[in-house]
Structure 1
Amino acid sequence: MQLTSPAPDAVARFAADLAALWPADDRSGPLGLAVSGGPDSIALLLLAHAALPGRIAVASIDHGLRAEAAGELALVERIAGERGIPFAPMAVTLAPGNLQARAREARYAALARWAQQAGLGAVATAHHADDQAETLLMRLNRGSGLAGLAGVRPRAAIPDSEITLLRPLLGWRKADLAAVVAAAGITPAQDPSNTNSDFDRARLRMAIADAAWLDPVQIAASAAHLAESWQALSWYAELDWHEMVIRDDTAPGGLGFTYCANVPRIIAIETICSIIHELGGHATRSEAARAWDRLWAGENASLGGVLAVPGTERVEKIGVPMRVWRFRPEPARSLN
């Protein structure tokens, strides 16, 4: 059977995008691809196969949500088999809760297990510029902070694992990817949830399609700039943690932290989250932000099982009076 490869310029473009995220010297195993059977992920398969022949593997996941999923997995298995690509079908069981969120969590957990068992060097997904634009606009509409506005990262780690996660198609339009699949003579699967107006993302996708003046590639570029800003802020927050947070093993409860709060609010929020985590609790950024507001106003704050008490002290290493906040496990409440 004669198989059609993507155009050489498309393959070269993909290879360059992948190398920018995953340099050849960093590669310790094959590249795993998450392929659903839709046009975006099939394009990823075709481009990666042409750019990395013999050095990729494919996985498809059935979330148990649609009867059509079995046929979609069979489609991906056929496409992979025709090209001699190792294929792994997987089924997952979703935990109760938000359907799309639980599906995403189960999917990434399955991909991490697969990557570890198969000895893969990284896993790639087919998120593209249109996806990134939708994500940024959705989060803007929800009032997200900088971490959320950074969108999906080009390179990250699969949650709760050390597996490298790559998104080499963030500079590609959905139409570009559909053209790659069409040129190969493949009819991809179509997920009806992509056009189901019950979902926020589908409604936004329709709105973007009707707004010809919006440029998803440029919106995605803005998300990349925000991601760089978030990276810089995270670096500063790490510095703040090491320079301005003092561990106190004599505090009530056996452990506490003293924080010399001398940075902008957005950075202090990250440091507060780190302190709460070190004390065995958990706090969202929104909760840490509300705690910062109370502490800045001179009021105690309680979050994640931790009590924070504000004060002003002369800090020897700084040489001037400044805000000093003390964090310790919250005292047990009396039953009387």
Structure 2
Amino acid sequence: MAVAFSAGADSTALLLAAHRRWAGQVIALHVNHGLQAAADSFQNHAQAFCALHGIVLRAERVQAVHAPGDSPEDAARQARYTALARMAEEAGAAFVLLGQHADDQAETVLLALSRGAGLPGLAAMAERFERHGQMFGRPLLDVPSTALRAWLASAGHAFVDDPSNADQRFTRNRIRALLMPAWEACFPGFRPMLARSAAHAAQGQRLLDDLARIDLAQVGTPPAIARLQSLSRDRQANVLRHWLRAEANVAASAAQLDELLDQIAACTTRGHRIRLKVASGLVTREGGDLRFVAPI
């Protein structure tokens, strides 16, 4: 068992709880992004904390460089998961625990709402998932941040506060600083309600995935245009999203998917041409089928 340990309050509480539950069987994994001046001090604190409590620590420095136009937060997250999966595999850990809590889940739902997300976004963070061949779990999604910090304070455990969490240039930080207090003032104790909505969205998405697999078996892989046309527009959209995700791990925007559905509806002659940009590639017509062409 491994715990992703940033040395912040949430991961500190999780590491201590896991260490008490599985004494001698838990290791800590620390990822140093090197994105701020305090990064090395976080790693030093993590090393000292683990040494004090007799916990094995593995640490890795990553270069979370983002491409022009991409989010630096997303680049850092991808680099972090890659490093955590690699360290866990090297250590022989079958599971990596993450410290996201009820406040993080509520922020994720609000962020998804602000972006007009569909069910996958509104489902927020899953309790368990697989990435890079490694299983991850979030056991604290029902626990508010205040409870974690109160427990650490009562036991006198030290942790670090990341100064970037107060930087309101980042959308999630603005939600935390401005929107969450307003929701709390209007709807006290709203976090479990948002978590319940996320769970409903996740259940709905699982049902849509089941339906998409049934429909994809009927339309074929790659999808036959004539068979797609026999489905309702909503089912076409659902099966195409599923196909693109399974085929190329890409997601079409709402505008791209609407245009693709219009093209499928208009495809009534042999000479009708489909060549539409979707995500980073193209969806084209080859004979009677759709194809996804990845960028070279």
Q: Report the TM-score range of the alignment, normalised by the length of the smaller protein.
A: 0.7 to 0.9
Q: Equivalent residue for 1:210?
A: 182
Q: Is the 8 A contact 1:279 1:328 kept in 2?
A: no
How far 1:187 moved relative to its partner?
2.7
Report the TM-score when normalising by structure 1: 0.74
Report the TM-score when normalising by structure 2: 0.84
Shift in alpha-carbon separation, 1:186–1:141, aligned structure 2, 3 A: same
Q: Equivalent residue for 1:154?
A: 127
Shift in alpha-carbon separation, 1:72–1:137, aligned structure 2, 3 A: same
In the aligned structure 1, how far is the partner of 2:82 from the partner of 2:64?
11
The reply on whether 1:288 has 2:257 as its aligned counterpart is yes
How far 1:305 moved relative to its partner?
2.9
How far 1:275 moved relative to its partner?
4.3
Q: Equivalent residue for 1:170?
A: 141
Q: Equivalent residue for 1:99?
A: 72
- Counterparts in 2 of 1:48-197, with a 5 A limit? 48-97=18-67, 98-158=71-131, 161-197=132-168
Shift in alpha-carbon separation, 1:138–1:59, aligned structure 2, 3 A: same
Q: Which moved more, 1:227-236 or 1:106-115?
A: 227-236
Q: Residues 37-96 of structure 1: CA distance to partner in whole angstroms, max 9, x if unpaired?
A: 111111111111112212211011111111211111122222222222110111000122
Q: Is the 8 A contact 1:151 1:223 kept in 2?
A: yes
Q: Residues 177-211 of structure 1: CA distance to partner in whole angstroms, max 9, x if unpaired?
A: 11121122123211112111111111111121233
In the aligned structure 1, how far is the partner of 2:113 from the partner of 2:76?
23
Q: Is the 8 A contact 1:138 1:204 kept in 2?
A: yes
Q: Equivalent residue for 1:18?
A: none
In the aligned structure 1, how far is the partner of 2:244 from the partner of 2:126?
25
How far 1:115 moved relative to its partner?
1.2
In the aligned structure 1, how far is the partner of 2:210 from the partner of 2:163?
41
Question: Larger Rg: 1 or 2?
Answer: 1
The reply on whether 1:268 has 2:245 as its aligned counterpart is no
Q: Is the 8 A contact 1:94 1:103 kept in 2?
A: yes
The reply on whether 1:245 has 2:219 as its aligned counterpart is yes
Letter of the aligned partner of 2:27 in structure 1?
A: A
Local SS of the residue matching 1:291: helix
Letter of the aligned partner of 2:182 in structure 1?
A: D
Unaligned ranges ≥5, structure 1: 1-30, 248-255, 311-324, 331-336
In the aligned structure 2, how far is the partner of 1:61 from the partner of 1:237?
37
In the aligned structure 2, how far is the partner of 1:292 from the partner of 1:186?
56
Letter of the aligned partner of 1:61 in structure 2?
A: V
Shift in alpha-carbon separation, 1:275–1:112, aligned structure 2, 3 A: same
Q: Percent identity?
A: 32
In the aligned structure 1, how far is the partner of 2:155 from the partner of 2:125?
28
Letter of the aligned partner of 2:64 in structure 1?
A: L
Q: Is the 8 A contact 1:132 1:220 kept in 2?
A: yes
Q: Which moved more, 1:216-225 or 1:300-309?
A: 300-309
- How many residue pairs get aligned? The number is 275
In the aligned structure 2, how far is the partner of 1:280 from the partner of 1:126?
30
How far 1:151 moved relative to its partner?
0.5
How far 1:224 moved relative to its partner?
1.6
In the aligned structure 1, how far is the partner of 2:246 from the partner of 2:114?
32
Unaligned ranges ≥5, structure 2: none
Q: Is the 8 A contact 2:34 2:40 kept in 1?
A: no
